[in-house]
Copies of this chain bind each other. A is one copy, B any other.
C-alpha cells in the first residue's frame, strides 16, 4: 500500500511542495512507495510553483481509510487534517509549528519538528547527501517553499539556516532568487478569481483567545491595494464566514510583502479593541496599519488579546 504524504487543508506552497519532495524521497531513495496528496486546491502561488518546476499536481485526498499509512507534513494540528487521521497509520510527522497535541500514534514513529521557517528546510536536512540524486523539480520545489515561507527572507520566521539552504539550492539550480520570488509573489497576489469568502479562508488558522474562537486569516501580497479595494465587501462577508465555520470573528491581515507591514481590517468594535490591546495602536477608521508585522506565527498569534 502506498504511503500518502500530505500537508494541511489550505495548501500554500510549503504544504503543496513538501509532500511532493518527501514522496520523492521515500519512493526514490528509501524504496518506500509513496504518493503526495492535497487536502484542498493549492493557492495561486502553489499552483505557479507546480507549473514552474513542471511537477504534476497531486491528487485531492478523498476519504482517508483506516490503517492507511500516512506521513503528515507542515502541520501537527488535527483540526487542519482529515477527521479520521488518528485512525490512519501515521508513520511520520515533519513540521515547523508549535505542538498543539491531539495527534496520536500506535507505536514509536519518526517525528521531526524544528523551529525553522519552512518544512522543506527540515526535509533538506533529513535528506542530506541524497539530495544530490533529486531531479531539478524537487530541488526547485524546495527552493520555492523556502522563498514562500520566508517571504524572500523578509519574514521574522527566517533563520540563517533557511536562508543558507535556499541560497545553496539557487546556486545549484542557477536560479536568481529575486526573479523567482517576484514571479511567485505576483502569482500569490493574483486573487481576482476568488470570492470574498474564499479570500477569507485561503490562508487561515483557527485560534482561541480568551474563550473567543478566531479565524485568523492572512493574505500575503505585493499588491495590497487590490485587496483593500474590496474591503467593504470583505468585511460584509466576515459574519457569514464566521457563522459557517463556528468562529466568533474573522480577522483579515493583508501583509504587504514589499513594504513589510500588515493592514488589519476593522469591521466592528470587537476587532478595534482587539487591535488596540494586541498591537498597542490607536484605531480610528476601518483599517489599521501594523508596521513590520509579517508573520502570523511569530508576530500575530502571540500578540492577540482582548
Contacts and interface: CB of A to CB of B under 8 A. Distances in A.
B109 A98 contact: yes
A105 B98 contact: yes
Given A106-B302, A108-B114, A108-B115, 7 more contacts: A98-B106, A98-B108, A101-B101, A107-B297, A108-B113, A109-B113, A109-B115
Interface in A183-227: none
A97 interface: yes
* Interface SS of chain A: loop
Nearest to A112: B112
Contacts of A96: 108
Contacts of A111: 99, 111-114
Contacts of A101: 101-104
Contact-residue bracket for chain A: 20 to 34
Interface string A280-306: 000000000000000001100010000
A110 B105 contact: no
A1 interface: no
Contacts of A109: 98-99, 113, 115
Contacts of A108: 95-98, 113-116, 297
A83 interface: no
A78 to B, nearest CB: 9
A145 B152 CA distance: 44
For A90, A99, A114, the residue with the greatest tally of chain B CB atoms inside 10 Å of its CB is: A99
